[in-house]
Chains A and B, each alone.
Chain A
Amino acid sequence: MSDRVKSERRLGWLLCAPAAIAMLAVTAYPIGYAIVLSLQQVDLRFPDEGGWVGLQNYGAVLSSGLWWTDLFNTVFLSVISVSIELCLGMAIALVMHRAIFGRGLVRTSVLIPYGIVTVVAAFSWQFAFAPDTGFVNHLPFIADDKDWFGERFSAFSVIIMAEVWKTTPFMALLLLAGLTTIDDGLYDAAKVDGASAWQRFTRITLPLMKPAILVALLFRTLDAFRIFDTIFIMTNGAQDTQSVSILGYQQLISRLNLGLGSAVSVLIFICVLVIAVFFVRVLGARQPEGSR
């Protein structure tokens, strides 16, 4: 091995080291620490008690109805909002791609939700749907006194709406990027052969965009699975609308039960791992070049 190759290697490692350390320090070490905590009884309100309890915390979490309700909520919210986002995002991407005029205007308007703090958007939607301050109940076909946050599934519909509003732009931009890589000649050839617009979409656009769609789906699903801000602001878990992240937060920070909370954290980590492996292996998503 020549000196040049060696020094290039050393420089490469040297340049990557700070970023690698910064990334590992707050992920690998804490997740290891979380596993250790999850095997102990650690409750900061009773600092004298403690000790190793094995898998007892996991048993307590997995046998509680709350964990399964919250897991259902999280999966339900993720699946519904990501499906809506995919359809809407695809529609917006197609519209932007075939824009007659005002393409810049669409891009501008889809970037507004991206720039807004999630908490602010959640407040705005909450105030809009609230029976006392909101304008939504004044719209036609909606009961004037509908209490959106008083019932589980109507609260979910507002939460999903806020999530879809906030994250569809990202989906649309990713899909548009995939759309622009498709050779226009294919469409022209298909047209000559008499393919309808729908056939061109299902036979050309969808197959060629499969990688882009899978990457977008993977990142949005994992992101949706972390849902926290919107629920915290809108209901803070009332009416059985908790997500697993809210459950973890309540155990760790509100109740200071680090042992039980860490068990929840580790279980969430495992769920995310399963989702990622599912997308990468089962659906055959190639290793994406983009991080999002």
Chain B
Amino acid sequence: MEHTAREKALWTICLTLVLIFALIPVLWIISLSFKTPATITDQSFIPTEFSFDNYKSLFEGGISESPFIKPLINSLGIALITTFISIILASFAAYAIARLDFPGRSVMLAGALAIAMFPPISTVGPLFDMWRSLGLYDTWPGLIIPYLTFSLPLAIYTLVAFFREIPWDLEKAAQVDGATPFQAFTKVIVPLAAPGMFTAAILVFIFAWNDFLFAISLTSSDASRTVPAALAFFTGDSTFTQPTGSIAAAAVLVTVPIIIFVLLFQRRIVAGLTSGAVKG
């Protein structure tokens, strides 16, 4: 199809607008993170003086004093463990739903859908009370358990969509060709299922990394507070300085790696986010 110069120009403008709108908050927070306390209120989009002081202050005092290191470890640990368990449980369920014929299959799918719609705030009060009496309040498992619950529907739906596409007959074919059932599974099925599981893992990790409500409700100290919650409690060096610079620097550190990751695996993420929705 041929396009006129006018169409191309119009398209370029659309493209630029979308790009600017998507990038503004990211560029702005990066800019703020490099400003000095003296220039942080200069309101200019590009820093006039560059400094790494905001980043340095995040790591000052090592693990015991720094307001950022422990929450970062908590965030990483909790998100990774959640992802690991969630993908294992979801793979079992998704395999059963995609391959086996048993009554309750549709109930399982409908149930997962209902959980996806469930308002998390409705569970916060009871969990707060239960966790305090069970000793789970302000611990890693105290956050991992609710994250598991609310990420499972996402993982199950993504995996079911992927597993349904796998040509399972290949497993039998490999066995006919002399492979043992174990070989058939590890050499044929696992490589085919891996991309789907990886996609689901990315989505679950981002979900756990992003949560704020449970993180501020079920924690009270750096023992298990994750970065989003810690950011809300950041204070300045003294009562008279705003923590804007340190918040910006911490925000950049938790954002940029995820953005790079998302961009590297964008095709998978798009496939995962929209899996099944097409048939809806």
Contacts and interface: CB of A to CB of B under 8 A. Distances in A.
Interface of A: 5, 8-9, 11-13, 15-16, 18-20, 22-23, 25-27, 29-31, 33-34, 37, 92, 95, 99-102, 105-121, 123-125, 127-128, 132-135, 137-138, 165, 169-170, 173-174, 176-178, 180-181, 211-212, 215-216, 219, 222, 225-226, 228-229, 232-233, 244-245, 248-249, 252-253, 258, 261-262, 265-266, 268-269, 272, 276, 286-292
A124 to B, nearest CB: 4
B104 interface: yes
Contact of A19 (B93, B232, B242, B262): B93
B22 A112 contact: yes
A265 B216 CA distance: 17
A23 B277 contact: no
Contacts of A117: 209-210, 212, 227-228, 251, 254-255, 258
B64 interface: no
B231 A120 contact: yes
A248 B124 contact: yes
B72 interface: no
Given A19-B89, A117-B209, A119-B232, A290 B276 contact: yes
Nearest to B95: A15
A130 B112 CA distance: 41
B25 A30 contact: no
A30 B44 CA distance: 48
Interface in B225-253: 227-228, 231-232, 242, 244, 247-248, 251
B122 A288 contact: no
B158 to A, nearest CB: 8
Given A269-B122, A272-B117, A133 B111 contact: no
A237 B44 CA distance: 29
A127 B270 contact: no
Contact of B115 (A23, A178, A212): A23
Interface stretch (B8-16, B55-63, B187-195): B8-16
Q: Which 3 A-B pairs have the closest CB atoms?
A: A12-B102, A290-B277, A291-B157
A256 to B, nearest CB: 9
Contact of A37 (B129, B244, B278): B129
A29 B118 CA distance: 13
B128 A19 contact: no
Contacts of A291: 112-113, 116, 153-154, 156-158, 276
A261 B45 contact: no
23 contacts: A8-B100, A11-B102, A19-B112, A33-B130, A34-B126, A106-B19, A110-B22, A112-B262, A114-B262, A118-B212, A121-B25, A128-B25, A133-B242, A173-B274, A211-B280, A216-B277, A219-B116, A248-B122, A249-B121, A249-B216, A252-B124, A261-B125, A291-B156
A292 B157 contact: yes
B29 interface: yes
Interface string B144-169: 01101110111011100100000000
B110 interface: yes
Nearest to A12: B102
A156 B251 CA distance: 23
Most B C-beta atoms less than 10 A away, residue of A23, A215, A258: A23
Given A119-B212, A173-B273, A265 B122 contact: yes
